[in-house]
């Protein structure tokens, strides 16, 4: 291996000591396709002599085989590791590379330039302190230049290098450099960057990459490497109030209980007052325990175990914070979300939200606006598609401790996860708590659902009928209710058509409106069940996620998903209301089964095959299943039932 330091060969101990105490700069390269991002990183690795001899040999061989530089080295091949990247000459995945100089260590993320890989770019930027935004001198500021600059600003990076590349292809002209710089500064003025450092360069030829360029004597500023070695980035997390998300309750024996995690901000010492959030219980730090022994002080970036002077109920996901500067606690927020999934974001749908070490259920209440990253204009929208960015209100099932993202990236940044597929579908930044978090509280009622159910002499539950339009849901649900009513049960049937005349008359049939339709009906069904009723819901409810949401609102065993299973061709053949015919004619859009999907239950509680079972027989089978499950028994004596 060739390395810039001769100490490796002469004094390895001194080299390791020097290397260990260098500071670390994380940065990204971004910009449009073919601006030369991968070539620049390859040149940096080559010039800093951080390549093994076998890597150089492989680079020479690959350059002859697939490179685009004739017989010369194609430095882009050092970071374009995927075969698809090499074949297409583009970056698809985020590639991280480590290198160092005598003054500093670096981790650089090479991020994709294509719009379709914006999510990958966000991933690379999330841990960076500085961004190198490349511009092709021939093309100037492009859409992706503006897009990536906006995203860099959004993610909290405040220091930018404007690397105007390929100056060799414009004759190293100063006028072109200044023309691009003026345009970029005008665009970036509202983004709030603390520093914009322009550097004219040729990554391919090496001009102004590591050493100054003789071809551009009019430029008197630093080379890129000189700037990276000396750049002063945003204040360290160590200057902020203490924050440590609890990752693990460390209890190896009966005599030890500690709370382990990575310190996200600030410092902590034995004796410091800390508060466990969101519970708000205050205590003091007794010891800072590590594998190498106790510490007198621990700072941001260290993983430690803290023992406390009091027995406090703390579990994974809680936050230990400085008692005199605690985090905020709320369950509703205004947030910025970058959507990263092919399926659109649907307000009203429940997602898992992972923030720090805590995972909670979150719903997007409303999309306030979508942001056009090219013009930064606020656009009206009901949903977010892949790579789009919007400002949304979020509601959580439980309160969490947090800081605004601009104050702390760890306690203010989160990801959203689809509850069915477990895919990461979005990343978000918490902006502020909504006032409702402080002003609205749950009011406990003296007469509870058990007392109301006992008064009616029955067990409450929700029977959720799902299936295609024309499957027979309403017919069967109506027959079931008649049988229950005749048996003296207290019931209510919520029919999909009926609720759209009142409760949901403001909703259409887009995916977002369907989600909201189901959410409202599920909440009403829950309230009716709380009053002791047996609630029947007849709703197409095409998405598994929303049916699961409705199930989660009820206690275990009190929600039955009844799949009225009728194939599309059979339902369409019945077409009692003529809806399929109109949908096929294009008169009705977003019709389930035609141009809108239906996700059939994978494990329904009851499945009715309407091709082999008539409505009367189906209703009777459902009632018998309710009896078998004990939902119609008279064993209803509960404490407090006489209140």
Question: What is the per-residue DSSP string for 274-327?
Answer: EEEETTTEEEEEEEEE-TT---S-EETT-EEEEEESS-----TT-EEEETTSPP
Matching residue, tokens 């492989």: 58
| Number of CB atoms found within 10 A of residue 121's CB | 28
Where would I find the H helices in 374-448?
A: 409-412, 436-439
Strand partners, 332: 395
- CB proximity list for 242: less than 8 A, separation 6 or greater: 263, 265, 266, 267, 268, 272, 274, 320, 321, 322, 325
CA–CA separation, 315 vs 398, rounded Å?
A: 15
In the residue annotation, 541 being an active-site residue is answered as: yes
Q: Are 24 and 71 in contact (CB under 8 A)?
A: no
CB under 8 A, 24+ apart: contacts of 632-637: 632/458, 632/459, 632/484, 632/487, 632/489, 633/459, 634/457, 636/453, 636/454, 636/457, 636/458, 636/459, 637/454
Rounded (to 5) percent helix, strand, coil in the chain = 30, 30, 40
Choose among 405, 430, 401: nearest CA to 328. Answer: 401
Where would I find the H helices in 89-171?
A: 118-125, 143-154
Q: Helix (H, G, I), strand (E, B), or coil: what is residue 37? A: helix
Matching residue, tokens 């039932």: 641
Strands 105-110 and 130-136: unpaired
Catalytic residue among 213, 541, 545, 596: 541
Residues noted as catalytic: 541
């Amino acid at each position: 291996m060739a390395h810039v330091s001769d100490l490796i060969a002469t004094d390895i101990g001194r080299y390791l000591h020097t290397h260990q105490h260098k500071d670390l700069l994380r940065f990204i390269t971004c910009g449009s396709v073919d601006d030369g991002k991968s070539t620049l990183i390859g040149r940096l690795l080559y010039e800093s002599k951080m390549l093994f001899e076998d890597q150089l040999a492989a680079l020479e061989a690959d350059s002859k085989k697939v490179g685009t530089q004739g017989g010369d080295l194609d430095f882009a091949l050092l970071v374009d590791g995927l075969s698809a990247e090499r074949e297409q000459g583009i970056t698809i995945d985020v590639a991280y590379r480590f290198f160092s100089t005598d003054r500093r260590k670096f981790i650089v993320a090479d991020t994709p330039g294509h719009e379709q890989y914006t999510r990958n770019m966000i991933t690379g930027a999330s841990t960076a302190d500085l961004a190198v935004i490349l511009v092709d001198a021939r093309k100037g500021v492009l859409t992706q230049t503006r897009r990536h600059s906006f995203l860099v600003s959004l993610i909290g990076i405040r220091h930018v290098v404007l690397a105007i590349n390929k100056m060799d292809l414009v004759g190293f002209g100063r006028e072109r450099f200044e023309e691009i710089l003026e345009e970029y500064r005008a665009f970036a003025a509202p983004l709030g960057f603390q520093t914009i450092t322009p550097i004219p360069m040729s990554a391919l030829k090496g001009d102004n990459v590591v050493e100054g360029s003789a071809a551009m004597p009019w430029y008197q500023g630093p080379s890129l490497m000189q700037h990276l070695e000396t750049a002063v980035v945003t204040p360290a997390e160590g200057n902020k109030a203490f924050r440590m998300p609890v990752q693990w309750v460390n209890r190896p024996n009966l005599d030890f209980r500690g709370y382990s995690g990575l310190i996200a901000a600030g410092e902590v010492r034995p004796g410091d007052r800390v508060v466990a959030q969101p519970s708000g219980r205050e205590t003091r730090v007794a010891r800072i325990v590590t594998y190498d022994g106790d510490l007198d002080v621990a700072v941001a970036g260290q993983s430690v175990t803290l023992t406390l002077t009091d027995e406090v109920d703390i579990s994974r996901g809680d936050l230990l914070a400085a008692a005199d500067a605690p985090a905020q606690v709320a369950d509703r927020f205004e947030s910025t979300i970058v959507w990263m999934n092919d399926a659109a974001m649907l307000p009203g749908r429940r997602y898992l939200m992972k923030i720090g070490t805590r995972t909670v259920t979150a719903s997007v209440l409303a999309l306030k606006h979508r942001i056009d990253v090219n013009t930064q204009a606020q656009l009206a929208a009901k949903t977010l598609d892949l790579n789009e960015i919007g400002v949304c209100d979020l509601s959580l099932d439980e309160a969490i401790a947090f800081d605004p993202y601009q104050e702390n990236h760890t306690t203010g940044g989160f990801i959203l996860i689809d509850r069915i597929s477990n895919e990461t579908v979005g990343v978000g930044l918490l902006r502020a708590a909504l006032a409702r978090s402080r002003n609205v509280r749950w009011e406990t009622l003296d007469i509870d659902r058990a007392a109301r159910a006992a008064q009616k002499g029955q067990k409450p539950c929700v029977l959720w009928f799902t299936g295609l339009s024309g499957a027979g849901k309403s017919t069967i649900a109506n027959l079931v209710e008649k049988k229950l009513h005749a048996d003296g049960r207290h019931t209510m049937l919520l029919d999909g058509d009926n609720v759209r005349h009142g409760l949901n008359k403001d909703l259409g049939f887009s995916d977002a409106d369907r989600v909201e339709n189901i959410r409202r009906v599920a909440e009403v069904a829950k309230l009716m069940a709380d009053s002791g009723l047996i609630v029947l819901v007849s709703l197409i409810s095409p998405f598994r996620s929303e049916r699961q949401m409705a199930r989660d609102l009820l206690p275990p065993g009190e929600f039955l998903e009844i799949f009225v299973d009728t194939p599309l061709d059979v339902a369409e053949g019945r077409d009692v209301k003529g809806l399929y015919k109109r949908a096929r004619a294009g008169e009705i859009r977003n019709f389930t089964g035609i141009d809108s999907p239906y996700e059939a239950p994978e494990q329904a509680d009851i499945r009715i095959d309407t091709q082999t079972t008539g409505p009367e027989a189906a209703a009777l089978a459902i009632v018998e299943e309710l009896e078998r499950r004990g939902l119609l028994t008279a064993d209803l004596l509960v404490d407090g039932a006489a209140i």
